[in-house]
Amino acid sequence: MKKFLFGLFLGCLVAGPLAISWQASQAKAKPESQATDDSSFWDIFRKTFSRPEPDYKPSNSGKTTVAGVRGVDNEGKLSTREDWDAVSWMEQYKLDENNVKDFLQERGLGPFKGQGGGK
């Protein structure tokens, strides 16, 4: 397997420059006024290492697939109403750290998981 990969590597090293030099000899057939040395090099490089543009055709199935995210479509925006009174009430609501700790401990949640309550 190593010999095969090494042979493939050597083949690429030899074939690459040969292909570029062949394309360069083909490009020299053009008049010099059309291309400079730099542009002819990049033209050859692009021709050697680029793929042709894909041929985009409309599908014949007549079906359209649409991807969306729940809550982010325009229809959802039209039908939802914001309850600003509830938002104001939530912004005014304050929690004491001891109340939160007691709540977690009573129900066996967070750092107290498996140690208690479970009402």
pLDDT of residue 117: 57
Domain borders along the chain are: 2-49, 87-119
Residue-wise DSSP of 3-72? HHHHHHHHHHHHHHHHHHHHHHHHHTTS-TTT--HHHHHHHHHHHHH-PPPP-----SS--------TT-
On whether the pTM is more than 0.75, the answer is: no
Per-residue pLDDT of the chain (119 residues; tens, 9 = 90+): 888 888 887 777 777 777 777 676 766 655 555 545 567 777 887 777 777 777 777 767 767 676 666 656 565 555 567 788 988 998 898 888 999 899 989 988 888 887 765 55
